[in-house]
Homo-oligomer: A and B are copies of this chain.
Amino acid sequence: MNNSSKLSTRSTAKILSGTHNERTAHTVTDSPYIVRTIDELQKRVRKALKKTQQELNAQATEESPAGQSSLGFVPTMGALHDGHATLIRRAREQNEVVLVSVFVNPLQFGPNEDFDRYPRQLENDVALATEAGADIVFAPAVEEMYPAGAPLITVSSGKLGTMFEGKTRPGHFDGALTVVNKFFNILTAVRGKHSIYAYFGQKDAQQLSLVQRMVHDFNHSVIIKPVSIVREDNGLALSSRNQYLSSEERENALVLSRTLALLREKEITGRISESDLDMAREKINSTPGIRLDYLEVVDPMTFETPTENSQQVLALVAAYVGETRLIDNMELH
């Protein structure tokens, strides 16, 4: 049995219990921005692209002919923060129609992970998303995305999906790619001649890399736009999971971004040695309340040790801060 099958059994139970959907469905005031069904989403996207195209055509002159209206898509699991707002604003700048999805995807949570505890706050999410420029917020129930329970056919993330985050979270990337693949197909079905740009944060570096590989391997007609990590002034990478941190844990968590920054400085003056990495690991592990999962330097194309041919070198870190697992990364060159 592979991981996705294991997950499926668990997820089916979750899906069929339906507790989360009821919660989200009843606590949120109806907003004209919120769309709940795939069918309605497709109608809205089609209509919005058509309308904005007409506007472009109307504004066109002989010197500046109309371009194609495009869709900017920002997939999220909700609990939106300034990091997401950056993605949405970027999408707003670059497209005529902006769609944000808010869907806590059960398939990408492991049995002992925080699916139940994961923050759900659709009302706030809609406010933040529309403030940042979203035209449509797609917030489907689990049953809308998986009407027959856990899907039988899924996306397999291969070897890259079993490394780093995939090692600690078996099945996580299969689940994430499975839902992203569905979103891409749902939107591609109605794109006509319009382009779709999908925005992913570089904070989830491995997810970004996997999505880019999926677009390539699956011949998706969606263009991926990576967006840099957004940090607090003190360096902490924004994350929905930061909500779980006490103020003391928040302070302790700063060692992650600081250690990455130190490695970047080291890289400027020369190669990072294995002993540099070990010292960096020790620095993190000796911080109170922090347990390091991994700190590694990789080529983001392969997530293997960088070679002389590597175009980019990325330092990756994952650690438990109290009970909360945080990840961060920094480009070294």
Q: Is the CB of B152 within 8 A of A217?
A: yes
Flag whether A186 is at the interface (Cβ < 8 A): yes
Residues of chain B contacted by A219 (CB below 8 angstroms): 38, 182, 185-186, 189
Flag whether A188 is at the interface (Cβ < 8 A): yes
Flag whether A148 is at the interface (Cβ < 8 A): yes
Q: Is the CB of B185 within 8 A of A154?
A: no
Q: Is the CB of B218 within 8 A of A159?
A: no
Q: Is the interface of A mostly helix, strand, loop or mixed?
A: helix
Instruction: Give Cα distance in the complex from A120 to B89, angstroms.
Output: 53
Question: How many of these chains are in the complex?
Answer: 2
Instruction: Give Cα distance in the complex from A189 to B190, angstroms.
Output: 10
Q: Is the CB of B153 within 8 A of A177?
A: yes
Using an 8 Å CB-CB cutoff, how does the interface string of A148-172 with B read, 1 for contact, 0 for none?
A: 1001111111111000000000000
Flag whether A220 is at the interface (Cβ < 8 A): yes
Measured CB to CB, the closest approach of chain B to A158, in angstroms, equals 5
Interface residues of A in 27-47 (CB under 8 A from B): 38
Q: Is the CB of A189 within 8 A of B188?
A: yes
Residues of chain B contacted by A156 (CB below 8 angstroms): 2, 4, 153-156, 174
Flag whether A213 is at the interface (Cβ < 8 A): yes
Q: Is the CB of A221 within 8 A of B185?
A: yes
Flag whether A206 is at the interface (Cβ < 8 A): no
Interface residues of A in 109-167 (CB under 8 A from B): 148, 151-160
Of B2, B216, B221, the contact of A189 (CB 8 Å cutoff): B221
Interface residues of A in 83-112 (CB under 8 A from B): none
Number of interface residues of A (CB under 8 A): 35
Instruction: Give Cα distance in the complex from A214 to B181, angstroms.
Output: 12
Residue of A2, A38, A216, A219 with highest tally of chain B CB at under 10 A: A219
Q: Is the CB of A8 within 8 A of B158?
A: yes
Interface residues of A in 175-192 (CB under 8 A from B): 177, 181-182, 185-186, 188-189, 192
Q: Is the CB of A181 within 8 A of B218?
A: yes
The 8 A-B residue pairs with the shortest CB-CB distance, nearest first, are: A189-B221, A151-B217, A156-B156, A185-B219, A153-B217, A153-B214, A152-B158, A154-B156
Q: Is the CB of A217 within 8 A of B154?
A: yes
Measured CB to CB, the closest approach of chain B to A188, in angstroms, equals 6
Residues of chain B contacted by A148 (CB below 8 angstroms): 216-217
Residue of B nearest to A219 (CB): B185
Residue of A4, A182, A218, A220 with highest tally of chain B CB at under 10 A: A218
Instruction: Give Cα distance in the complex from A277 to B92, angstroms.
Output: 64
Contact A155 B158, CB 8 Å, known A188-B221, A218-B182: no
Q: Is the CB of B218 within 8 A of A185?
A: yes
Name 26 interchain pairs, CB-CB below 8 A, sorted by A: A2-B156, A4-B156, A4-B158, A38-B219, A148-B216, A151-B158, A152-B158, A153-B155, A153-B156, A153-B157, A153-B158, A153-B177, A153-B210, A153-B217, A153-B218, A154-B155, A154-B156, A154-B217, A155-B156, A156-B156, A156-B174, A182-B217, A182-B218, A185-B188, A185-B221, A186-B219
Residues of chain B contacted by A4 (CB below 8 angstroms): 156, 158
